[in-house]
Amino acid sequence: MGAVDTDKNAALIRQVPIFAELSDAECDDLWAAGQVVSVPAGEFIIREGDPGDSLYIILEGALEVTKRDGANEITLATRGPREVLGEMSLIEQAPRTASVRATVPSKLLAIGPEAFRQLLAGHSEAAATLLRTVTARLRSTEASLVQADKLAALGTLAAGLAHELNNPAAAIQRSTGYLGQAFESWRGRTVELGMLDLSPDERVGLAELEKGIADCRLTRASDVEARRAESRLGDRLEALGVADPWELAPAMAAFGWSADRIDPVAARFTPVHVVPVLQWLGAGLAAQQLMEEIERAAQAISGIVRSVKSYAYLDQAPVQDVDIVMSLDDTLMILNHKLKHGVSVLRNYEPALPRIEAYAGELNQVWTNLIDNAVQAMDGTGQLEVGARRLGEEVEVMVADSGPGIPEDVKGRIFEPFFTTKAQGVGTGLGLHIAHNIVVNRHHGRIGFSSRPGRTEFRVVLPLRLSRPAEGDDGQ
C-alpha cells in the first residue's frame, strides 16, 4: 500500500469520532484488519436476530436502521459517511437488535470482533467515545420506540374500542328499526280496543293492564325464568286463539307474564274481547322491551366513553388523586377485546382503598403493559388475577397470570430495555422497561415479580403521596 493510500485511509478512519485519536500506523492496521464491502441499494448488511460479527464504518452512501414490531417496520435512524454501525452487538456479544439496509449504493469497512476488542483494550479514548456514542444511540432508539409503542397502543386502543362500541351501536340500530314497527302495531291495537264495547269492569281491567305496561320493569323476570315460562305462555296464548303467539310470548315472559297469569285476564274479559286485549298487551310489552334494549346499549356506550375519558385523564392535570381500583378496571375495560375470548378475570380488591397521588395517565400505561404481557404469556387463554391492597403508607397492585412462567435464565434481564422473550420481530422489548421507569423513577415506588410454571405475579408498590422533586429537578 502506497504512502498516499495510507494517508487517505488514515484520514477516512480518523473522521470517525471513535478513531480520532489513532495514529497513522494504528489506522493502517485497522484498515488492514477490515474488509471493504460494496452494498447495492436495498440490500441488508445486518438482520435483526442474527449474531453480531462485525463493526461497520460507512465510507460512502447511506443506510437505514429499522426494527420489526409485529407486521410493522419502525425506522430508528439513518446513518451516513463517517458513522459506525453494529457496535452494540459486539460489545454485548448478543444478537442484533435491529436491521440495517442500504438506501443508496454504499461502501463500508467491516471490522471483525478481534480487531475491535484490541482497539478498545489499547485506547481508553476510543472506549470513552464509543460509550458516549452508544449512550446517545440508546436514548435516541428508546425515544423512537417509545413513540412508536404509543402510536401502536393508540391504534390497538382504537381498534378495541371500535369493536367494543360496535355491539351496543348495532343493538341500538337494530332495536330502533324494530321499535317503529312495534309502536305502529301497538297504536293499531289501541285503536281496535277503542272501538270495542267494553263494560265498566273491563275498562277498569284495561287501565290496570296499561299501568302494568308502564310499571313492567318492576316485574322483570330473569333470563332463566323468562326462557322457562316462554314456551308454556306461547301455548296458552295459542289455545286462547291469539294469532302468532310466538311473537308476543318472549316480551311478555321477559316482564314476568306466565301461562297462569294469563288466566285471570281471560276470565275478566268477555271471550270476544280476550284476544284483542292480549294482542294489545303483548304489542305494548314488545315496544317496552325494545326501549329497554336501546337504553341498555346506550348505557354501555356511555360506560365505555366514561372509562376511556378516565383512562386517558382527558383535560386533567398530570398529577391526580387516583382511585386505584377504578384505574385498574378502566384498563381492563380498554383491553376487554383481548380478554373476552378466553381469559377469565379474577378481581381481588381490598375494600375502601385510599386514593394515591400519581401521574395518572402514566400509571394506566403500567397496568396496560402488565395486563397485555400477561395475556400474551397465556396466549390469550387462562386466568388473569388483578388485585390491590394497602400496605401502611403504600398501596400494592398485583397482576398475575396462569401462563408458563418466566425462564430462570432471563429473569435477571426482564426490565432491561429492548430485551424480550417474544419471537423476533414481535414487540420492542420496552414494555416492562417503561413500566419500571414509571414506577421507580416517576413515582419512587417498587416493582418486582415472582414466577413459576402456571403462575407469574408482578407486584407494584406505590406511595400514597408523591415526593416532590427539588427545584430544578425534572423528576427523572
What are the tens digits of pLDDT across the range 215-253?
777 677 777 787 887 888 888 888 888 888 888 888 888
**Radius of gyration for the alpha carbons in the chain, expressed in angstroms and rounded:** 35
Q: Does 440 score more than 60 pLDDT?
A: yes
Q: Which fold has domain 3-122?
A: Jelly Rolls (2.60.120)
Q: Where are the domains of the chain?
A: 3-122, 164-304, 317-463
Placement of cell 488514515 in the chain: 10
2: confidence class by pLDDT, cuts 50, 70, 90 = very low
> In the chain, what percentage of residues exceed pLDDT 90?
18
471: confidence class by pLDDT, cuts 50, 70, 90 = very low
255 and 221 Cβ atoms separated by less than 8 Å: yes
Q: Across the chain, what does the average pLDDT equal?
A: 79
Q: Does 4 score more than 50 pLDDT?
A: no
Quick: pLDDT tens for 131-160: 565 555 556 555 555 555 655 555 666 666
The whole-number average pLDDT for the span 452-463 is 94
At 205, the amino acid letter reads G
Counted residue by residue, the chain has a size of 476
pTM for the full predicted model: 0.49
Q: Strands across the sheet with 35-39, in order?
A: 35-39, 106-111, 55-60, 84-85
- Domain spanning 317-463: which superfamily? Histidine kinase-like ATPase, C-terminal domain (3.30.565.10)
Q: What angle do CA 256, 282, 190 make, to 5 degrees?
A: 135
Q: Does 195 score more than 70 pLDDT?
A: yes
